[in-house]
Chain A
Amino acid sequence: MKKSVFLGTLAIAGAAAGYASAQDGGTLAQVQERGTLNCGVTTGLTGFAAPDANGEWQGFDVGVCRAVAAAVLGDPSAVEFVPTTGQTRFTALASGEIDLLARNTTWTFSRDVDLAFEFVGVNYYDGQGFMVPRELGVSSALELDGATVCIQTGTTTELNLADFFSSNNMSYEPVPIETNAEAQQQYLAGACDVYTTDASGLAATRATFEDPTAHVVLPEIVSKEPLGPLVRHGDNEWGDIVRWTLNALISAEELGVTSANVGEIGGTTENPEIRRLLGTEGELGAMLGLDADWAANAIAAGGNYGELFEGNIGEATPIGLARGLNAQWTDGGLLYSPPFR
C-alpha cells in the first residue's frame, strides 16, 4: 500500500515533469534532436534483453527498441539502452530519462491508469506456469496439493499463486526466494517441489538445466501477463509512433513482409495494404511526422514480429518457446494488428 502511494506520488511528479518536457517540443522532437532513442530494458532477462560477449544488446524487447529507433531515426543502432530494475523502471520513464520502456512489463490497470503510463500494445502474451521434476509424476497443477513451492517474493506471481491454490481448495508451503538465479539453485537442490514464474521464464530456466527432459512444465497457466512496451501519458503523438511501429511488425508478418524482401516488395506487390505500410502508396508516414519508409526501416532493423520471435525466443533457440498465444490471429493466436489504412 505504502509502495503504491509512493509510486503514485512519483508518477504525479513525473507527469508534471512530462508536461513540462512536452511543452518544449514533445518526445519525437527531443529524440530527433538528440539523434538517439533512450530505451529502457531489463538488466538481463534471457531471450528478452541481455548484452552479448561484445557488449551488444540482444533480445526480443531489444528488437522493439531497435525497430522504433529505425522508424524514427532511420538507424536501428541509434539506441542508448538504459538498464532498469523492477524498482527503477517506472520512475526512469516518468522522469523522462528514457523515451520508451520495453522491459517485459505486465499491462495492468493500475500501471496504466494510476501511474499515468500508456501501454501501446502487447508484444508477448505470457502467463504464470509451474515446473516440476518429471520423477514426481505430476501431470496437472491440480495435483499439487501440499507441495512446497519456490516463489519470488514481492511479485504478482506470489499473489497469483495464493489465488490459484485457495480457489482450488489446495494448500502449499511457500519457499520465498529473491531472484530467478536463486530459484534455479533452490529448485535443483530439491528445496522445493515446484518452481513457479512466468511460462517464458520457466522455459528459459529449464533450457539451462543439465538434463531438461527430467523436468516438465505443467499445462496450466494461472494468470494473464500481457507484456508490452509503454510510454508516458501526455504525449499521444509519441505513443502513436511506438504503437504503430509495433503494429507494423505484427502486420508485416501477417502480410508476408520480411527483412529479406522488405527492400523490393513495396515496389513489386499489388497488395495495397503492403504498399501503404511500406510507404509506396499513401501518406501514412507523414501523418506520424516520419519519413514515408518508416515502417520499412523498422522491419528491416530486425525483421517482422515472427522473425524477432524466432530469432530470440522461438523454437530454434535454446529457450524454445512455441508461438502459442503469440501466433497471428489467422493461426489461432492473439496477435491482431488494426489495419494500415
Chain B
Amino acid sequence: MSELHSETALDTAYVRTEMLPEQTPPVTVSGPIKWARENLFSSVWNALMTIISIYVIYVVLVAILPWMLNGIWDAGSLNECREIRDARGGSGEHGHDVACWAVLVDRWDQLMFGFYPSDLYWRPILALALFLTAIAPVLYDSLPRKMLILTALMPFLCFWLLWGGSIWTPIVVALGFVLGWAVVKFGEGTLGSMLATIGAILVPILFWMYLTGPLISGLHSILPIGIQAVESRAFGGFLLAFVIGASGIILSMPLGVILALGRQSDLFIINKCSVIFIEVIRGVPLIVWLFTAQLLLGYFLPPGSNFDLMVRVIIMVTLFSSAYIAEVIRGGLAALPRGQYEGADSLGLNYWQSMQLIILPQALKISIPGIVSSFIGLFKDTVLVVFIGLFDPIGFSNAIRADTDWNGIYWELFIFIGLCFFICCFGMSRYSQYLERKLATDHR
C-alpha cells in the first residue's frame, strides 16, 4: 500500500509527501457547542423551548438562592432573625426575605436525637458507625468476608448501645438464635429435616417467652455489667426515623423472602397463611396499622403490661414492609423460567438447597429495583409515626413551632428535613443501580 502511494507521489508533483498535522475540528461540530446544537438548539422549536426553560430556571434560582445563601445562622429566635435581617437592610435591598437557618443550630440536637440524654450522644453515633461498618461487607463483596461476623453481632450491639441496660439482655436474646441454629445443625440427622425446621422456629420462641426474663435477671444479679438505660420515649428526630427505618428494612427482608416462598409453596396451609397475611397487610393503609399498634394493642394486652410503643411500631412497619417485599420477590420468582426449577430438581438438590443456590440468587437479582424502592418507601413512611404522637423529624418541626421563639418558621425546617431524607434515599437508589450493573450477566 505504501509502495503504491510513493509511486503516485512521484508522478504527480502536487501531492503532499508528509502527513498534515492533526487539526482540531471546527468549533461548531465539536465540544460543548456541538452538544448544545444537537441537544438544545436542534430546531427552531427546540431553541425556543430551551430559552424558555433557561428563563424559568433563572427566575426560580433568583428567587430562592439569595434567600438560602444570605440565610441567618446565628440568632436565638425568629424575631432576632428578623431584627438581624432588618439591620442588614436585607428586606429592602433584595426585595424579599432571607432564610432563618438559626433554628437548625438552636434545635440541632433535638432534630437529630430527640430527647436522648445529651451526655450519651456518643452512643447513637457509635451505633450508626457500627451499623455502617457492619453493613459494608453485605453491600460490597470486595471487603473481607470475616467482617460478616460483625454484621451478625451488629443488631445486638446496636440495640445495647441505643437502649443501654444490662449487657445480658442482648446476649441472652442472641442465645435464642444460637439455639435455633443448633437445632438445625444437630437435629437434622436425628429428627429429619421437617422436624428440625419446625424445632428451629419453636425452640427459640419458647426460649424467648419463658426463659429469657429469669435468665437475664439471674445473670445480671451474678455479674451486673451494664450501661445507663435509655427509655424509648427519649428517642426522637432522625434517630427515631433511622432506628425504625433500619430495623424495618433489616427485619422485613428475611420475612419477605419467607412469605414469598410461602406463597409459592405447594403446602396448603403455608400457602394460604402467606396469601392471607400478605393480602390483609397490603390491603390496609400503614397509618391504620400504626393506629392499631398505638391504640388497640393497649386494650388487648393485659392491663399493666407496658409493651413499648416503639417496639410495636417497629413490628407493624416490619410486617407492612415484608408484605410488599414478598410481592416484589414473588415477581422475581415468577420471572424465572420453569427450567431453572427443573434443573435444580434434576441435580438432586432438596428444596432449601435449590432455593439457596439456584432460585433465590436469580430471583433476588431481578427484584433489586423493586426491593430498593420498597425500602425507600418504608424509610420515608417512618414520618407517619407523627400521627401517633411520636417525635420524628416532622413531629419535632411541629413541636419547635409550638415554642414562642420559633413559632412561624416553616420552610427552613421542612427544607432541612427534606434534604436529609433525600440524601438517604438517593444514596439507596444509587447503590441499587450500582448493584444492578455489577450483577448484570444477561446479554443486552
Chain A interface residues toward B at CB < 8 A: 10, 13-14, 17, 20-21, 24, 42-47, 49-53, 55, 58, 80, 82-85, 87-88, 91-92, 95-97, 179, 181, 184-185, 204-205, 207-210, 317-319
Residues in A neighbouring B82, C-beta threshold 8 A: 210
Verify if B431 is at the interface (C-beta below 8 Å from A): no
Q: Contacts A51-B110, A83-B391, A88-B388: A208 and B295 contacting too (C-beta < 8 A)?
A: no
Verify if B410 is at the interface (C-beta below 8 Å from A): yes
**Is the Cβ of B299 less than 8 Å from the Cβ of A85?**
no
**Is the Cβ of A85 less than 8 Å from the Cβ of B295?**
no
CB closest residue in chain B, given A318: B404
Q: How far is the CB of B388 from chain A (nearest CB, A)?
A: 6
Q: Contacts A20-B303, A181-B401: A88 and B294 contacting too (C-beta < 8 A)?
A: yes
Q: Contacts A24-B304, A87-B291, A318-B404: A44 and B398 contacting too (C-beta < 8 A)?
A: yes
Residues in A neighbouring B115, C-beta threshold 8 A: 51, 55
Q: A231–B386 Cα gap in the complex (Å)? A: 24
Q: Contacts A20-B303, A95-B295: A51 and B399 contacting too (C-beta < 8 A)?
A: yes
Verify if B402 is at the interface (C-beta below 8 Å from A): yes
Pairs across A and B, CB under 8 Å, 30 listed: A13-B299, A17-B298, A20-B303, A21-B303, A42-B402, A43-B386, A43-B391, A46-B401, A46-B402, A50-B399, A51-B110, A52-B403, A53-B403, A58-B403, A83-B390, A83-B391, A85-B389, A87-B291, A87-B388, A88-B291, A88-B295, A92-B295, A92-B298, A96-B298, A179-B398, A181-B398, A207-B407, A208-B78, A208-B407, A317-B404
Residues in B neighbouring A84, C-beta threshold 8 A: 389
Q: A42–B401 Cα gap in the complex (Å)? A: 13
Q: Mark B385-422, 1 if CB is under 8 A from A, else 0.
A: 01111110001001111111101101000000000000
**Is the Cβ of B298 less than 8 Å from the Cβ of A97?**
yes
Partner among B109, B389, B405 whose Cβ is within 8 Å of the Cβ of A82? B389
Q: A207–B79 Cα gap in the complex (Å)? A: 10
Range of interface residues on chain B? 20 to 34
Q: How far is the CB of B408 from chain A (nearest CB, A)?
A: 3
CB closest residue in chain B, given A48: B402
Residues in B neighbouring A20, C-beta threshold 8 A: 303
Q: Contacts A21-B304, A208-B78: A95 and B410 contacting too (C-beta < 8 A)?
A: no
Q: How far is the CB of B297 from chain A (nearest CB, A)?
A: 9
**Is the Cβ of A17 less than 8 Å from the Cβ of B303?**
yes
Q: How far is the CB of A26 from chain B (nearest CB, A)?
A: 13
Chain B interface residues toward A at CB < 8 A: 78, 82, 106-107, 109-110, 114-115, 233, 291, 294-295, 298-299, 303-304, 386-391, 395, 398-405, 407-408, 410
Residues in B neighbouring A185, C-beta threshold 8 A: 410
CB closest residue in chain A, given B294: A88
8 extra A-B contacts, CB within 8 A, seeds A51-B115, A55-B109, A96-B298: A10-B299, A44-B399, A46-B404, A51-B399, A52-B403, A88-B295, A210-B82, A317-B404
Partner among B298, B395, B410 whose Cβ is within 8 Å of the Cβ of A181? B410
CB closest residue in chain A, given B408: A208
CB closest residue in chain B, given A51: B399
Residues in B neighbouring A184, C-beta threshold 8 A: 408
**Is the Cβ of B303 less than 8 Å from the Cβ of A53?**
no
Residues in B neighbouring A95, C-beta threshold 8 A: 295, 298-299
| Smallest CB-CB A-B distances: 7 pairs | A44-B402, A208-B408, A95-B298, A50-B402, A44-B399, A208-B407, A91-B295
Q: How far is the CB of B300 from chain A (nearest CB, A)?
A: 9
**Is the Cβ of A17 less than 8 Å from the Cβ of B299?**
yes
Q: How far is the CB of A14 from chain B (nearest CB, A)?
A: 7
Q: Contacts A44-B399, A53-B107, A55-B115: A80 and B233 contacting too (C-beta < 8 A)?
A: yes
Q: How far is the CB of B86 from chain A (nearest CB, A)?
A: 10
**Is the Cβ of B303 less than 8 Å from the Cβ of A14?**
no
Residues in B neighbouring A17, C-beta threshold 8 A: 298-299, 303
Q: A92–B390 Cα gap in the complex (Å)? A: 13
Q: A82–B399 Cα gap in the complex (Å)? A: 13
Residues in B neighbouring A317, C-beta threshold 8 A: 404
Residues in B neighbouring A204, C-beta threshold 8 A: 404, 407
Q: How far is the CB of A151 from chain B (nearest CB, A)?
A: 19
Q: How far is the CB of A260 from chain B (nearest CB, A)?
A: 24
> Most B CB atoms within 10 A — which of A13, A17, A44, A209?
A44
Q: How far is the CB of B298 from chain A (nearest CB, A)?
A: 4
Q: A208–B407 Cα gap in the complex (Å)? A: 6
